[in-house]
């Protein structure tokens, strides 16, 4: 199973259509492209505080929209020390320019704050839908519920391996592909043993196919 995950964004009108372009989540994926731009952090919870510090490495023009989330005094002081502006008025809409690019956010008081990029820490939901019948055990991680896996993507269900974001939400492409390779190697080992077991059984039963049988 390598069904990945779904990024669930806050329900702010105009936000979703910019996903992966003007709306980003990962400083390592998008950092180069958004460097030195006016960036806004649309907070979704405590994880957004660390997120802001990462994006601050990429731009000196960073605004943190608390958007109903808590921001403690210590974090406010740390943000002030790094020149990160904080806005507590809720965001009601993401505004686009005439070319369709992200232009800013509209606040509940009607003010528009110009931004070229919004960084959002989405809620990550492993794509387990439709796979419930397999009976795979799940695990609750701080980043959300995923399929539980052992070494090399093994699971408690014989014949099912898992790899990538469906078991590890923070795995990027390299780690996901590596997990798939490790699972593939383990699957191949299991098949090689199964072929050998079948061959041995065939010989024991006097079958001429025994030595060449394949799983």
Q: Given the rule CB under 6 A, which residues bind ligand FAD? A: 2-4, 7, 20, 26, 29, 127, 130, 164-165, 171-174, 176
Tell me how far apart the alpha carbons of residues 124 and 7 are, in angstroms, rounded to a whole number: 5
How far apart CA 190 and CA 177 sit, in angstroms, is 20
Closer of 130 and 208 to ligand FAD (Cβ): 130
> Six-digit token pair at 152?
């090399």
Question: Least separation, in Å, of the C-beta of 164 and ligand FAD?
Answer: 2
Nearer to ligand FAD, 2 or 95 (CB): 2
Q: Rank residues 7 and 61 by Cβ distance to ligand FAD and give the closer one.
A: 7
Q: Which residue is nearest to ligand FAD (CB)?
A: 164
CA angle at 26 for the pair 21 and 29, rounded to the nearest 5°: 75
Closest CB 62 distance from ligand FAD, rounded Å: 20
Token pair, residue 88, equals 């507590």
Tokens of 27: 């400083």
Three-state SS for 151? Answer: helix
Tokens of 25: 């989540």
Least distance from ligand FAD to the Cβ atom of residue 6, Å: 9
Q: How far is the CB of 110 from ligand FAD (least distance, A)?
A: 30
Distance CA 18, CA 62 (A): 18
Residue 12 beta carbon to ligand FAD: minimum distance, rounded to whole angstroms:
17
DSSP of 77-106 = HHHHHTT-EEE-SPEEEEEE-TTS-EEEEE
- Cβ closer to ligand FAD: 63 or 128? 128
Our CB check for ligand FAD shows the closer of 14 and 75 to be 14
């Amino acid at each position: 199973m390598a069904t990945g995950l779904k990024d669930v964004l806050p329900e702010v009108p105009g936000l979703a259509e910019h996903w992966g372009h003007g709306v980003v989540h990962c400083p390592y994926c998008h950092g180069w492209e958004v460097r030195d731009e006016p960036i806004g952090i649309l907070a979704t919870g405590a994880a957004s505080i660390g997120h802001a510090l990462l994006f601050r490495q990429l731009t000196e023009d960073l605004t943190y929209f608390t958007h109903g989330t808590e921001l403690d005094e210590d974090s406010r002081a740390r943000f002030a020390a790094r020149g990160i502006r904080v806005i507590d008025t809720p965001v009601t809409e993401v505004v686009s320019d005439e070319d369709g690019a992200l232009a800013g956010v509209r606040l509940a008081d009607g003010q528009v704050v110009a931004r070229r990029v919004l960084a959002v820490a989405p809620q990550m939901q492993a794509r387990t839908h439709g796979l419930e019948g397999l009976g795979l055990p799940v695990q609750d991680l701080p980043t959300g519920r995923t399929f539980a896996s052992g070494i090399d993507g093994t699971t408690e269900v014989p014949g099912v391996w898992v790899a990538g974001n469906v078991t590890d939400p923070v795995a990027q492409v390299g780690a996901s592909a590596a997990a798939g390779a490790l699972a593939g190697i383990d699957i191949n080992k299991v098949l090689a043993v199964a072929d050998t077991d079948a061959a041995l059984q065939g010989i024991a039963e006097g079958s001429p196919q025994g030595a060449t049988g394949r799983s």
